Structure 1
């Protein structure tokens, strides 16, 4: 099975982002991908944190959800739609929602980001809890290669989230890591999650300087269950694609049955 991570440098104009996402998803399909993942905030990286609230959709209906459904049908490819803003019970906050669609355009999973990023470093400051309602449910779904687990960006720092999914064949992580934190921690955390869960990790990132001046780290990548980086795109928009080999994963789990050796559960 071939999978692809879409890397974008999303703008404050959703229409332009839709066009870019469409083009890059077509490229992923042309490269033979059966599943593609868009990054966090692929549809809008606003000039202000509150900008995304204006584009929040009711669950099940809206321009962004319809786009994901239709492009999955058009390309006959499973799509994990990074994150889009969905309405919450609080008009000042949205759910940062990751939606998965099968190749027929049917929604098969929804994950609302659980861990909300907070960071202060001089003039660089982020507080997602001001505009995002945290989710509560751990989400995974079955696929032809086994269970696929969903996380978003800051979730990467919380290994217990992924442990509570049970054994997965693939962990998918759409993200918009800042340049500061990404440079320090992105790769090592991704490789750690792959190694400790003995599964593939597919990370789809924002990677460049946005309208607001914010710079994201990029480095979308696919990592194998031994922690090896199979493919990576450092910066700028593009597609990272590669094949998953479930037999390789099973061999690693047989040779080093660490998952069976666990003595404590979350």
Structure 2
């Protein structure tokens, strides 16, 4: 499977301007034979706390409709960020669209980034999400990467886990280290897609969209063009590796759960 990662530099809080650049990357990915293209968190707006202005209806999102049109036009699977409103709440979301334009899943970010005050503007999701791409793919967003329990859960049924992010350059070493750790400890392909450029809050982003294999090795892109990299994924290799080195069969989930549920060991 050929997967395109775009370290997209969105135009701050301007969906229309960002969409024009977005379309160019989708076309380029398709022309280069990619089966799937992945963009960073809050793709067309940047990581903005202006949620009231930027949110779209969950069941009638103009942005998602544009994603669907492009997926169908270029016959490519598409994973990207969007801000959605549902039931009085606003969520930081990741939508997965098939090459036929079907909305396969919408993931609401489970862990808002409290360090930046994200939880004041976005509600926390409560459901894990995965899609039935080859090998199974789990979906996560940015700050989720710091919570390994989420990845252990997703790795049960998935050989690939995606994280779309707006991860600042000053913590780029954390970005790379955590992606690699999640790949090794869960024996999965770990795909990290991070934005580039400078946002409206003067935060700098290194891009650094990368993939680690189940063994923890950094994959080399087969094609590099501007802020886009295309990789070949041998998803079957994950099962082969898991059988040769069956780490998961030694997990003691019963003990972990008992300890975490003890008073004082888990945040209430």
Q: Secondary structure at the match of 2:216?
A: coil
| 1:167 maps to 2:157 | yes
| 1:116 maps to 2:112 | yes
CA displacement 1:59-103 (0-9 Å, x = unmatched):
12232011111111011111112x21101334xx52011111111
Q: Contact conserved, 1:112 with 1:135, CA < 8 A, in 2?
A: yes
| Alignment match, 1:188 | 177
| Alignment match, 2:244 | 255
| 1:197 maps to 2:196 | no
| Distance (whole Å) between structure 2 residues aligned to residue 5 and residue 53 of structure 1 | 29
| Distance (whole Å) between structure 1 residues aligned to residue 91 and residue 219 of structure 2 | 32
| Alignment match, 1:104 | 100
CA displacement 1:189-244 (0-9 Å, x = unmatched):
00111111111111111112124312123210111111111137xxx961121111
Q: Contact conserved, 2:135 with 2:236, CA < 8 A, in 1?
A: no
Q: Contact conserved, 1:88 with 1:133, CA < 8 A, in 2?
A: no
Deviation at 1:129, TM superposition (A): 0.7
**1:104-253 maps to which residues of 2 (within 5 A)?**
104-119=100-115, 126-143=116-133, 145-165=134-154, 166-181=156-171, 183-231=172-220, 238-253=227-242
Give the alignment's TM-score, normalised by structure 1. 0.88
- Structure 2 unaligned runs (5+)? 258-268
Q: Contact conserved, 1:8 with 1:237, CA < 8 A, in 2?
A: no
Instruction: Rate the CA distance shift 1:32–1:185 in 2: closer, same or farther, 3 A.
Output: same
| Distance (whole Å) between structure 2 residues aligned to residue 217 and residue 136 of structure 1 | 30
Q: Contact conserved, 1:39 with 1:205, CA < 8 A, in 2?
A: yes
| Alignment match, 1:95 | 91
Q: Secondary structure at the match of 1:154?
A: helix
- Structure 1 unaligned runs (5+)? 120-125
| Alignment match, 1:85 | 83
| Distance (whole Å) between structure 1 residues aligned to residue 110 and residue 165 of structure 2 | 13
| Alignment match, 2:263 | none
| Alignment match, 2:262 | none
Q: Secondary structure at the match of 1:49?
A: coil
Deviation at 1:263, TM superposition (A): 2.2
Give the aligned CA root-mean-square deviation in angstroms.
1.8
| Distance (whole Å) between structure 1 residues aligned to residue 244 and residue 6 of structure 2 | 33
Instruction: Rate the CA distance shift 1:88–1:62 in 2: closer, same or farther, 3 A.
Output: closer
Q: Secondary structure at the match of 1:231?
A: coil
| Distance (whole Å) between structure 1 residues aligned to residue 29 and residue 249 of structure 2 | 36
Deviation at 1:39, TM superposition (A): 0.6
Q: Secondary structure at the match of 1:98?
A: strand
Give the alignment's TM-score, normalised by structure 2. 0.87
Q: Contact conserved, 2:160 with 2:189, CA < 8 A, in 1?
A: yes
